[in-house]
Every structure is written in C-alpha cells, then in structure tokens.
Amino acid sequence: MWSSSLRRSTKMKCLFSSTQSLSSNPKLISNTPSPSRSLSNLSSAFLLRPIRSPAIRAFSSNPKIAEVRALHSMQNPEAISYLTQREAAEIDEILMGPLGFSVDQLMELAGLSVATSISEVYKPSEYNRVLAICGPGNNGGDGLVAARHLYQFGYKPSVCYPKRTPKPLYIGLVTQLESLSVPFISVEDLPLDLSEDFDIVVDAMFGFSFHGAPRPPFDNLIQKLVCINTYDQTRQKSSVIVSIDIPSGWQVEGDDHPEGIKPDMLVSLTAPKLCAKKFCGPHHFLGGRFVPPSIADKYKLRLPPYPGTSMCVRIGKPPQVDISALRENYISPEFLEEHVDTDPFDQFRKWFDDVVAAGLREPNAMALSTACKNGKPSSRIVLLKGFDKNGFVWYTNYESRKAQELFENPHASLLFYWDGLNRQVRVEGSVQKVSDEESDQYFHSRPRGSQIGAIVSKQSTIVPGRHVLYDQYKQLEEKFSDGSLIPKPKNWGGYRLKPEMFEFWQGQKSRLHDRLRYSSRDINGQQVWNIERLAP
C-alpha cells in the first residue's frame, strides 16, 4: 500500500495511499416485509466529489437520490480512477507532507476501512474465525489494525506476523492485540489447509510497492492462499480471501499474474491501483475516507461518495445474487414465556421503547393488511399515531381503497418489523373509526404542510402528473399563508384496531425463531390473554 522506495528516499516511516411468512386470519392476509439493506441511508456528507452528470444534477435538491445515482455510475469499471505506482507514491508524499497526516492516523483509517468492508459482507455469525497474515511493512500494519477492529466487531481473529517491524508503532499494535488475547501463530504452526481452521484469511503481506519475487516465508504463505483457490474446486466451503489494497504478489501496474492469489474481496485504499482492473472476485470495496478535494482535483479522481458514516463503499458491479441462498442467521437473546408480560400491550410497549432507544428509523411504520368482502387482500405501509389498552390508531383518507375495504370487512392486521433488533410484532383485530373530535384534534397537531397535503391528496385516485398536486398545494399554501385555521377535510380521519391476537417474533439461530402468540378470551366479561408458543 505504501512505496518502500519512497520510504527509503524520504526516510518516511509509512504512508497511507489510498422474514418469515406468518400465519394469517382467514379474514385477511398479512404480508411480512423483508429486511433491506439498500442505499436508502446515504448521506450527503462526504469528502470526495461524486461524478456529476445532467441526470444527477436534475436531482440535486435530493442529496440521497443524487448519491444513489453517483454510486450506480460507478458500476462501470471505466468510470473509476485507477492509480499508477508513481501516482500512489506522490499522493502519499502529499498526505504525509503538506497535509499533515501522521503514520498512525492513516494506518488506523486503513485498518478500520478493511474491517468495516469485511463486516459488510461476511457476518461474524457465519464467518467468525479470521487469520490476518501480516507482512513487515505498512500493509502488514493495516492488517494488525484490521484484526483489532474485527475483534471489537465480534470476530475471533488470529495473526501470523513472521517478520515483525521493530518500531514503536508496530510494537504498540502487537501489544494492543496481545492485551485482547488475540493469538499470534507462527508459520510452522499454520495448518496445511487454512480452510480447516479459518473462515476468512486477510492478505496483508505486500502493498503497491511490491516488485520481484516474494522471499521466504512469504512465498510459501502466498502459495497457501493460492491453494485455497485450488481446494475450493473440491469442497463445499473454503476460506474466503480478503486482500488489502492489492493482492500480495501482484504487480501494481497490472502485469499478468495467472498463478497468483485470487481473492474473494479486494479493499482498495485511496483509489484502486491499475492491477485492480484484473480483479475478478465478487466484492471490491474502496476504503480510506480522507482524500481532500485538493488531491481529488489534482489527480482528477473519479470516486464514489461514501454512504452515511461508513468507512467503505462498494465499487464495480455488485455480485450476482442467488436469491434462494439469501438467509440471515439471527443472534438474539432468548424470548421465553416466563420472561414476558402477561398483558400484550405492556409487552408491546417494552419492545417499542427498545426500538426507540436503539434509534431505528421510523419505529412506528407498520404494514396494514386489509381485505374486501370477497377476500381479495391488499397491504400498504402506514404510520402508527398512538396506542393504548383500547387499541392502535392511524389516520388516512376515508375515500381510499383501504378505507373501502375496511367498510366492507372491518378487520385488519398490523405488522411491525424492526430489523435492527431481529423482531417483529403482528396484531389482528376489528377496526372502527375514531371520533370526529379525536380526528380533528390530531389533524391540527400536524405540521401545516401535512394538513395541506391531506386536502390535496384524493388518496388512491388517478393523478395526471405530479405537477397537478404541486400546483394545488401551492394554491392552498398561499390561501392559508395568513396563518388562519386549516379546516380538516370531512373525508379524512382515524381508525382504531382493537386487538384480538398479538404475535411476538424474535429471530434465532438455524431458523428456530421465537414466536409467542397472545389470544384473547372473554371470561365473565373480562378480557383474558392466553400465551402460546408457536413452531417457527
């Protein structure tokens, strides 16, 4: 990752360059939303300047859409900047000189980028055992830092560090790992087949300054990684290889390397090196989120923005996905009958408070499932606006499709899905309108823009174009610009679902999920809840 010749000539120490389907009431069908880890959480804050095109500029008022478009443009490898060895060394020199970065700062950013890239793809629940093979230089230092972060992320790292660098920075990194009881393994003690003991092998031996033939013991270590690719043809699962910046043994200028390491993941740093054009693995990430505009402009770097607060971003085309193989092995605390509240409303309150405390986005979003009188179902996302022992309340247009279905069949189900906590709750029951007074009170508690929007939207009717809604909105906005009271439309108000059944679901390992169902019974005029465990 750093140029050894540059280090010798400048005496620099080192540089950093670069759901399951739930049972349903016969009266309706409840659809379970699937988890999504999409680009919806992209932030407009990033250091690199994204590629701009007329299509992107047209959406400049929405930074999230602009960034999604920018990331999509990076799926073409030719749209991304690739650095030569000379350019990478020059960028290092600028970073370590006038820009004032220190060695340990850059190494920390590099190692954190590698660890976060790994965690994006290889979850510790299935890829827990990690071996970091570290070389004597700065690429090896990145591997040591990555191992420390992977430990904090819940992995079980081990380190093979045969040629240790006797400098305070590296000695400190070793001490940090030893304090965490991370084992150091000698070359002699490594298994012949690394896949027997490790799920992930981090290749942190050589960076972009490498040239010539690898010397012992790294020639044998590289051969062990090559053998993983060979063994992969004969076994169901082998270790995955993650290379830092460039695969060890490759030439940075992209010379042929048909017999070299073939990593499953490449984490390029600062910008991909020329040899990365020949990377054929499924996962190519960019890490090292620190390049200032001055360097991006000087070298005309075309790089994607980093999503949100992430230290890595996927580049190149996403891998082809076998949908049938997509699965999540959930890790959650046990959800046992003896630990739950006897009242499902109290149990729901506890879980809802957990979601709010966890900071999950829109914790009150719920899938509302309804059915018309002939049983034809439909579902949509609505927002819960209140709940108590009397039921769950939401608001909508009384002339919408779901309102018509509730008129014909006043039963529904609500589904809350909280991916971040591996939980979901389904509630079934009868539905009725709330009072006009309650609807009016809530309507006037909303922002004035939302009040006007409720008047403009004749929900579920056909609209000739967005401009029609916009023009009507602007007219009403001007009409009520004096701050006068905005009247609630007569066809707008709330519904309350009175629960007859709750089902609390919590994801567990090997699909042995917890499902506890509360069923309502009337005993001597009192509502009593019976708790039963359902098979997952």
264 carries a ligand binding annotation: no
Q: Rounded to the nearest 10 degrees, what angle do helices 103-121 and 85-96 cross at?
A: 120
> Please, where are the H alpha helices in 39-167?
54-57, 63-73, 85-96, 103-121, 138-152
Determine if residue 212 is labeled as part of a ligand binding site.
yes
- 484 belongs to an annotated ligand binding site: no
Instruction: State yes or no: 203 annotated in a binding site.
Output: yes
Contact 14, 2 (CB under 8 A): yes
Please check if 386 is assigned to a binding site: no
CA quadruple 53, 54, 57, 59: dihedral sign: negative
Residue 143 assigned to a binding site: no
Rounded-to-integer distance, Cα 73 and Cα 77, Å: 9
Residue 140 near residue 134, CB atoms below 8 Å:
yes
207 assigned to a ligand binding site = yes
Which residues touch 244 (CB under 8 Å, ≥6 apart)? 1, 110, 114, 139, 142, 143, 146, 202, 203, 204, 207, 267, 269
Name the nearest CA neighbour of 516 among 428, 430, 425.
Answer: 425
* Annotated binding residue 141: yes
- What tokens appear for 491 in the block? 């066809």
The answer to whether 138 is annotated as binding is yes
**Is residue 245 part of an annotated ligand binding site?**
yes
Is 139 annotated for ligand binding?
Answer: yes
Please check if 154 is assigned to a binding site.
no
Number of DSSP helices (H) and strands (E) in the chain, helices first: 14, 16
The reply, when asked if residue 525 is annotated as ligand binding, is no
- Token representation of residue 366: 């719920």
Q: Which of 235, 511, 521, 533 is catalytic?
A: 511
Strand partners, 493: 396
CA distances from 361 to 366, 423, 503 (A): 12, 14, 22
Name the token pair of 88. 């990478």
Amino acid letter at 126?
Answer: E
Tell which residue, 439, 454, 460, 431, has the closest CA to residue 385: 439
Q: Which parts of 342-396 fold into alpha helices (H)?
A: 344-358
Does the active-site annotation cover 235? no
DSSP letter string over 233-275?
Answer: TTSS---EEEEESS-TT--TT----TTS---SEEEEESS-BGG
322 annotated as a binding-site residue: no
Catalytic residue list? 511
Annotated binding site for (6S)-NADPHX: 138-142, 207-213, 245
Annotated binding site: 138-142, 203, 207-213, 245, 248
Annotated binding site for K(+): 139, 203, 248
